Amino acid sequence: MREEINFPIQTGNFSKTPAMKKIIETHEINKTYKMGAEIIQALKSVSISVNKGEYVAFMGPSGSGKSTLMNIIGCLDTPTSGTYILNDKDVSDMTENELAEIRNKEIGFVFQTFNLLPRASCLENVALPLVYAGMSKSDREDIAFQALTNVGLGDRTKHRPNELSGGQRQRVAIARALVNNPSIILADEPTGNLDSKTSYDIMELFHELHSKGNTIIMVTHEDDIAHYAHRIVRLRDGLVETDTINPNPTRGIAMHA
């Protein structure tokens, strides 16, 4: 019999909290790439902060810099100049090994293409981050099982990705993102490969995760998907064009109505 394992959640009334904890801070982040003789400046002095428990969407057209900013925040890339503080750690100049450790401990990734191992079961896919964390097989399986149960797939643990629908595969990816109890969930175009109804179901799941205190950063070029977030940061030409609170976040139920 498996022991039920509950993921820690943040509680409390945010409006009564005197000072929110900043989980992400970027200061004057610049990123340049060299393409032949040309220098491309993908980000230009971007300074933003995200508090614990926020639900933020990065939005912008192709070439706006949103993917570059996502890669830096996800510790998949480093800035050319500037400072990035993640959960009180300066990750701006970390080595690749140090960044890999930070990614495994601090960030849960959800990708458009799911990035699941095709020959592994759902349970094995979700448990994979715990292997790198050095956890025993028994503990890994217990925690992975609970993570799958939390996203409604407790009865699909032995299935492989090709035996699941697109929406189910994305739920497996979300369970994998949550399994290490990360500081932030970083979702890159999470509905890009899904039909409209399944997209709304997945966005409703993100709403539920946020309501439990998870910090979510979503990257999207779709305006309707961005409006599920409580704050929308729009980028254009490597700059933050606007950074606004969304007073009426969309709910999946409303989209079906």
Q: How many residues does the chain have?
A: 257
User: Which residues 6+ apart lie within 8 Å of 74 measured at CB?
Assistant: 103, 107, 109, 186
Q: How confident is the model at residue 3 (pLDDT cuts 50, 70, 90)?
A: very low
Give the residue-averaged pLDDT of 133-149.
92
pLDDT of residue 18: 42
Whether 172 shows a pLDDT value over 90: the answer reads: yes
pLDDT of residue 252: 57
For the ranges 3-12, 222-231, 234-243, the lowest mean pLDDT is seen at 3-12
Q: How confident is the model at residue 225 (pLDDT cuts 50, 70, 90)?
A: very high
Give the residue-averaged pLDDT of 84-103.
91
pLDDT of residue 231: 97
**Distance (Å) of CA 188 to CA 44, 45, 219:** 21, 22, 5
The class of domain 22-256 in CATH terms is alpha beta
Whether 86 shows a pLDDT value over 80: the answer reads: yes
Q: What is the pLDDT of residues 52-84, one digit of tens each?
A: 999 999 999 888 999 999 999 999 999 999 999
Long-range CB pairs of 149-155, under 8 A, 24+ apart, other chains included: 150/7, 150/175, 150/178, 151/175, 151/178, 151/205, 153/122
Q: For a pLDDT cut of 90, what percent of the chain falls above it? A: 69
Whether 8 shows a pLDDT value over 90: the answer reads: no
Give the residue-averaged pLDDT of 94-122.
91
Q: What is the pLDDT of residues 230-241, one digit of tens each?
A: 999 999 999 999
Q: What is the pLDDT of residues 186-212, one digit of tens each?
A: 999 999 889 888 998 999 999 999 998
How high does pLDDT run on average in the chain? 88
Domain coordinates in residue numbering, the chain: 22-256
